[in-house]
Chain A
Amino acid sequence: MAIDFQNVTKTYPDGTVAVDDFSLHVPSHTCTVLLGSSGCGKSTLIRMVNRMVDPSSGSILIDDADVATTEPVALRRRIGYVMQDSGLLPHRRVIDNIATVPRLNGESKADAHRRAHELMDIVGLDSALARRYPKQLSGGQQQRVGVARGLAADPNILLMDEPFGAVDPLVRVELQRELQRIQTDLRKTIIFVTHDIDEALTLGDQIVVLKKGGEVAQIGTPENIVEAPANDFVAQFLGLDSARRSLSAAPREGGGWLVSDGRGRPLGVVNAAPDQRSETD
């Protein structure tokens, strides 16, 4: 399911322009990351897809059908949504939180719970946690439940609004890895909002770097953006102009290269090409 933003503008009643004439094609079965600092309108954009926010002008199409013609509640039930701080219902057990959307769609409790158990497995949650309440889980576990809930109705589209923003860095990396693994299997059309550059480079098939008001600074693959930043804003945002990402490599004793950043801080080792290595082994 492809998503198209066509000349979308959002002006709030107080005159704030959150998004100004934004257009974007989100291809099917890929992960598009909206990357920008707070106030760039990225959350507004993602919320327009499931009609949490309606654009002031322009339209959003899902497989060429304008979302404005779809009843919002029905639309939301067929689009997965994962948010920061998980947004789980504190009065429902983990299993019931995951089963929320199938239950809203009228599935029987038994079927919905069976599906929820499958999903706990997919997102790497111990099934012993099924009967717990959300507050009895760690932040990372809660986000996994959030992802499972987003996937429960088997939506084609998954909207992720800074889903890993509130968990500590180690857990975040782990969750990113899990999401990549899940995406390899499920191939959803994902729009992922973040302000974390590393997260964007890790997860995005396509990255959209946003300035204030939803102005597009650059659209491209992670490689495109790192190799050829379109302008100073992108270079600065990614830290490409800083010492952190201007790397240099020096030959290493015993083969391979030692890589350091612009300040001479050693970062790691680049191994020699595999065929060379097999010779030295």
Chain B
Amino acid sequence: MEWILNNLPRITDLTLAHLLLALPAVASAFLIALPIAWAANRVRPLREVVVSGTGLLYAIPSLPLFIVLPIILGTGVRDTFNVIVALTIFGLALMVRSAADALDSVDSGVRLASTAVGYSPAKRFFSVELPLAGPALLAGLRVVSVSTISLVSVSAVLGVQSLGSLFTDGFERGIVPSIAAGILMTALLALLLDVLLIAAGRVIMPWARGGGR
């Protein structure tokens, strides 16, 4: 406990660094997954190929990806951009299937009705299909958020600063409280982000709250 109190500023800095790696990756995974999922649903024969194909990205071992990506991107191994791209790829692996299923789950009667009353295809997508896919999209996003928060730690092995650095340092120097703090803060961060996502969902989608009349 004393160690944690003494190192509070460093833990705070690392938490912030952790977030700065995770949040852009979660956001870009979400935003990139949407058009891919939409296109996959449109071209039916390709759907399973695209969805399973992106899903397989998750099978890439994370450490080698962190090392190989810079060669493709032309960045340094410790570049935050490199880490964010790698995390985005893992996010996509989870999010594309969620998004494709979410967009697919919109009731066909509602689709038909919105066309019948005069929604143009684009307007129908953004005003009807996307919002109605919202709850299922949110469910997928929550998985991506938790997974990304935990994956960020791996980049500490490369020397990129994050909460993972508390493990690597703690392990090298035999400081158990450092390791404990790393585990605790990662879990807390994942939980906090999850709660924020649920709250945002409640605010943005008040209609989705349970209960009949």
Q: A136 to B208: give the CA distance in the assembly, Å.
A: 12
Write out, one digit per residue, whether chain A residues 18-52 have a CB within 8 A of any chain B CB (1) or not (0): 00000000000000000000000000000100101
* Inter-chain contact A101/B118, CB cutoff 8 Å: yes
The residue among B110, B113, B132 with the most chain A CB atoms within 10 A of its own CB is B113
* Inter-chain contact B118/A87, CB cutoff 8 Å: no
* Inter-chain contact B114/A89, CB cutoff 8 Å: yes
* Inter-chain contact A87/B116, CB cutoff 8 Å: yes
* Inter-chain contact B110/A89, CB cutoff 8 Å: yes
* Inter-chain contact B112/A136, CB cutoff 8 Å: no
**B81 within 8 A of partner (CB):** no
Additional pairs, 14, CB under 8 Å, beyond known A52-B115, A133-B207: A50-B116, A73-B119, A77-B117, A81-B117, A87-B113, A87-B114, A88-B110, A89-B132, A91-B134, A104-B123, A132-B213, A136-B212, A136-B213, A149-B117
**A90 within 8 A of partner (CB):** yes
**A171 within 8 A of partner (CB):** no
Q: A214 to B205: give the CA distance in the assembly, Å.
A: 43
The 5 closest A-B pairs by CB, nearest first: A87-B113, A77-B118, A76-B118, A81-B116, A136-B213
Residues of B contacting A91 in the complex (Cβ-Cβ under 8 angstroms)? 131-132, 134, 205, 207-208
Residues of A contacting B132 in the complex (Cβ-Cβ under 8 angstroms)? 89-91
Describe B's contact surface by its main secondary structure.
helix
- The 8 Å CB contact of B117, one of A74, A76, A137, is A76
With A90-B207, A133-B207, A136-B212 as contacts: A101 and B117 at CB distance below 8 Å? yes
Q: A92 to B132: give the CA distance in the assembly, Å.
A: 10
Q: Which of B102-121 contact A (CB under 8 A)?
A: 107, 109-110, 112-120
**B136 within 8 A of partner (CB):** no
Write out, one digit per residue, whether chain A residues 63-90 have a CB within 8 A of any chain B CB (1) or not (0): 0000000000110110001010111111
- The 8 Å CB contact of B110, one of A52, A90, A93, is A90
Interface range for B: 20 to 34
- The 8 Å CB contact of A52, one of B116, B120, B128, is B116
Residues of B contacting A88 in the complex (Cβ-Cβ under 8 angstroms)? 110, 113
Interface range for A: 20 to 34
The residue among A50, A86, A91, A92 with the most chain B CB atoms within 10 A of its own CB is A91
* Inter-chain contact B109/A76, CB cutoff 8 Å: no
**A59 within 8 A of partner (CB):** no
Residues of A contacting B208 in the complex (Cβ-Cβ under 8 angstroms)? 91
Q: What residue in chain B is nearest A132 (Cβ atoms)?
A: B213
* Inter-chain contact B207/A73, CB cutoff 8 Å: no
- The 8 Å CB contact of A76, one of B115, B131, B212, B213, is B115
Q: What residue in chain A is nearest B120 (Cβ atoms)?
A: A73
With A91-B205, A91-B207 as contacts: A83 and B112 at CB distance below 8 Å? yes
Q: Which of A132-156 contact B (CB under 8 A)?
A: 132-133, 135-137, 149
Residues of B contacting A100 in the complex (Cβ-Cβ under 8 angstroms)? 117
- The 8 Å CB contact of A83, one of B116, B118, B120, is B116
* Inter-chain contact B112/A87, CB cutoff 8 Å: yes
Q: A87 to B132: give the CA distance in the assembly, Å.
A: 13
Residues of A contacting B120 in the complex (Cβ-Cβ under 8 angstroms)? 73
Residues of B contacting A83 in the complex (Cβ-Cβ under 8 angstroms)? 109, 112-113, 116
- The 8 Å CB contact of A137, one of B113, B114, B213, is B213
- The 8 Å CB contact of B212, one of A73, A81, A90, A135, is A135
* Inter-chain contact B123/A87, CB cutoff 8 Å: no
Residues of A contacting B123 in the complex (Cβ-Cβ under 8 angstroms)? 104
Write out, one digit per residue, whether chain A residues 87-126 have a CB within 8 A of any chain B CB (1) or not (0): 1111111000000110010000000000000000000000
Write out, one digit per residue, whether chain B residues 118-157 have a CB within 8 A of any chain A CB (1) or not (0): 1110010000100110100000000000000000000000
